[in-house]
Structure 1
Amino acid sequence: MHVPDGFINLPVSAATGAVAAAAVAVSLRGARRELDERTAPLAGLVAAFIFAVQMLNFPVAAGTSGHLLGGALAAILVGPYTGVLCVSVVLLMQSILFADGGLTALGVNITDMAVVTTAVAYVLFRALVTVLPRTRRSVTVASFAAALVSVPAAALAFTGLYAIGGTSDVPLGKTLTAMVGVHLLIGIGEAAITALTVGAVIAVRPDLVYGARGLTAPLKLRVGGELVDAAPTAPEVPSPRSSRTVWAAGLVTALVLAGFVSFYASADPDGLEKVAADQGIDKKTEEHHTADSPLADYGVKDISDARISGGLAGVIGVGVTIAVGSGVFWAVRRRRTATVDGGAASVPPETV
């Protein structure tokens, strides 16, 4: 659903750019509360994983494909504010390096694919885990439902933006029906990927899943015919080696997906591209400003072998995304540590 330049006029693009900038600023502050010794190393990996999986277009209908948006997955794994930053980093790398998503439309894409998907998914996810049994399976089920709804929500948001600032005169009713309909199908794939990924992490390190924290129900004992809470036990502290193993496994998976599996992805246009061609939204599409970059269209320039070119571009993309993402989250985490330490240092000692 990467919106190219020319779909949305400049005034609305500029306005969504301001909205996106404000959302990123708020998310940077919110991420300082979410990022700790567990989520900070994972956040950069989540961004790289989303980049890799977005290269895997899957068929959803005749001549149409879809790909992961990633907002729900990021929000559940590392928190909603950090999730917005994860998807924003991915979109920035895709636009600058791979000419995927217009530069003037970057605000549209961040607002739609990062902010809307993350916010809708996390609100629904929290509502579901509140009413469902407090189990790991409930987290997986809630992840599936939240991801499923987040994709048509993004399609609805795009249609609303197009109604305000679209550059072509098209029947909005048909466009809305087509966008929501095809993205409901794409949402099923998004939900499956999200649930499988969240379930896999929960199976080995549930403490790493932000959305699963605090969901363990207290142990009950029957005393004198009444159920009472058992005395809490000290939580098991996972070893640093365990965290490194999860991180390494995630990185290898992202590299394999981007560097090898992506070659077998569907070549059909994605949901937005298909609807745009059918409804005439793409009449004023502009060429990307970095269309001649060495990595444009997810291939390495001057390498004729498509398999090698695409695989190498995918590996480079994963590497750059994890480097940039990790740098951002390290800086945010360091800012939080400095704030906490400074606050603690400013508290005067008690006098007796």
Structure 2
Amino acid sequence: MSEPDIATKAPESDAFEPSAISDQDSRAQTGASMGEHCVTDRPNPEGRQPSGEMSKFGDVDIYISKPADYPNAPAKLLLLLTAGTGVHSINNQVQADIFAEQGFVVIMPDQFNGDPAPNSKPVPTQEENPGILEQFKLKAAETAKSFMVDMWLARQTPEKVIPILLKVIETAKDEYADAVAHGDGIYCAGYCFGGKYTVLLAGEYPAFEGQAAKDEEAGPVKKGPLIKAGALAHATLVTREDLKAVKAPLTFACVEHDPLFPAEILEEGKKLFASSNIEHEIKIYSDVPHGFAVYGDYDSASIREAQGEAFQQMLKWLQSH
């Protein structure tokens, strides 16, 4: 694994012109399909159970986890955006608890509005060398599940997800005004699907226009950023347009050779950040699967080590901003 690639401050420059930006980025990544690490919980180490609680912000289900000494001791507010497994995943809830143990009030919303990703874990077989018919059945089942995941992903559009996040952010500002004030803003951590929306919330994005304005007399619409700083791991469906809009500091924990976040998009993001003087950090993790950074057990010691490193990378970034 390489050391973090930390950007240096660069002067404003118009010399770099980003390449054409379109939905082609998202379509290409969707074509890679989301694997089981994006839509299936990993084994739970030591049977750890969540310590937070389910609640609601209006009609949005949320999981809330708080430091043990809150509100007697101040804490920052962290918005945690999940992979396809969603808000009811034990892995995701424990991940929120781990951030809470480090001094954050964690709000994890149901960004899928009750529609988490279908389980795409391959069907197990008892046969070491299944016959041709069994092989066909297994392949057909895997293909069907992959199709279901792709259909689900097509439903999860920014037009659907962003209004949910904006509603959660506005409610959090009221319900946990002390935590927002202590951090001088809202922080965000995103995994997989949630990584893209961490990027969007860190940027000036047209989809925010009109959503944040309460009335015509409210003044100019603030298009973003809506977070102070963000941390993301193995993001999916991030486009050049998303990266071009970024204004808040971001750290990226990326998987080497990840078709869900292609190297060419990440490399162009580096150029965009440098040209716009955006503080950022990028670390590439090799020999790990997409989804490795989410809480959950792996047989490989090297993957478990990388998981811990990615959490520390994200935590230190959030704590230092």
Q: TM-score, normalised by structure 1?
A: 0.29
Higher strand share: 2
Give 1 or 2 for the bigger CA radius of gyration.
Answer: 1
Q: TM-score, normalised by structure 2?
A: 0.31
- The higher relative CO (CA closer than 8 Å, separation ≥ 6) is in 1
